Amino acid sequence: MSKKHSIQARYRAFVIWQKLGFNPWKKQVANESKGGGDFYRGAFDSIPFLNKDAKRTFQHLLLRPGYMIRDYIRGNHENYLAPLTALIIFYAFFALVSSVMQPVQHHKGSGFENFSLEYEQDSLPAKAHKVADIAKIVQTGYTFLHLDEYPEAVKTQTQSSIAALERTLRSQGIPLFLGEFLILWLAMGLALRRYKQNMSACAAASAYVLCQFSFFMLFAVLLTFGKSTSISVLLIAALLIIDYRQWLGLSWKKSAGRVLSTGIWYGLIYGVILLLISAVVLLIAFLK
């Protein structure tokens, strides 16, 4: 067999494995005891990062992500980590590695920490006073939601308790689960209505998609030696296009259209949430 034909045969075999999730031509080897092998057999089954389900989930999410999502939604649950479990485990591993690579994390906020709103009452016109007051209220609200990052703003025992709670939530990656997961879940549910994907299926898919993102964020951390922990929007879009194509059996063009729709819904939902949070912060500030 020529080298060209060998490469083509390997590629066809890979495509078959992608679609099925296993090699149909591979003989199943009986589980026989082979002496010293019993010493470590099953030793890592209880360790999330090292057991067979975690390794299989990692491998399939990298090489056949959409097909794996399809298989899980169709009921093949025993071979993979559950979606939310996988998200927690893989993101925790990413957070662990990034914290080692970046032992000192500098705050990268929206610039409020360098923005002073002190002014003389007589130095501003009447309309400008209202604008400055609103800006100061927004700054106060932002600081209240980030007390763990602004220890100088903690004045009371209640604020100290809130700061401790915020620190715990952020250290465990809770904002990712409660924020990006829920928004992506809703965006997928709205974007895929015509394909009859229920909210349960979209929840599983969104969790596995975020697992993919955490893999590539981990690669970014390792390749840049801790200088970057994010991936580009274009890479995110490319991953989603592949996922939709494999999961839903769509063409490349239709997959790209669904990704665009998902992005639009994601932005709209994110904007509505920000408006609601801002309204609550302003209301609390005015009530004080």
**Tell me: the pLDDT tens digits for 75-108?**
998 889 999 888 888 887 877 777 677 654 444 4
Distance, CA of 287 to CA of 137 (rounded, Å): 12
Phi-psi region of 173 (alpha: psi -120 to 50; beta: other; left: phi over 0): left
81: which DSSP letter?
-
Question: Which backbone phi and psi does 27 adopt, to 5 degrees?
Answer: -75, 140
Do 210 and 180 touch, CB atoms closer than 8 A?
Answer: yes
pLDDT tens for the 288 residues of the chain, in order? 677 778 888 888 888 888 888 778 776 555 544 444 555 455 455 555 557 888 899 999 999 999 999 999 999 988 899 998 888 888 878 777 776 776 544 444 444 444 444 444 445 455 555 555 656 665 666 676 666 677 777 877 777 777 766 665 555 555 556 678 899 999 999 999 999 889 999 999 999 999 999 889 888 888 888 777 778 889 999 999 999 999 999 999 999 999 999 999 999 998 898 888 778 777 776 775
Which residue matches tokens 């929840």? 203
C-alpha–C-alpha distance, residues 245 and 242, integer Å: 5
Vertex 119 angle, CA 114 and 123, to 5°: 140
What b/e sequence results for 50-72 when a residue is b if at least 16 CB atoms lie within 10 Å of its CB, and e otherwise?
ebebbeebbebbeebbbbbbbbb
Using alpha carbons, select from 139, 134, 137 the residue that is nearest to residue 150: 139
Is 199:189 a contact under the CB 8 Å cutoff? yes
Instruction: State if pTM tops 0.85.
Output: no
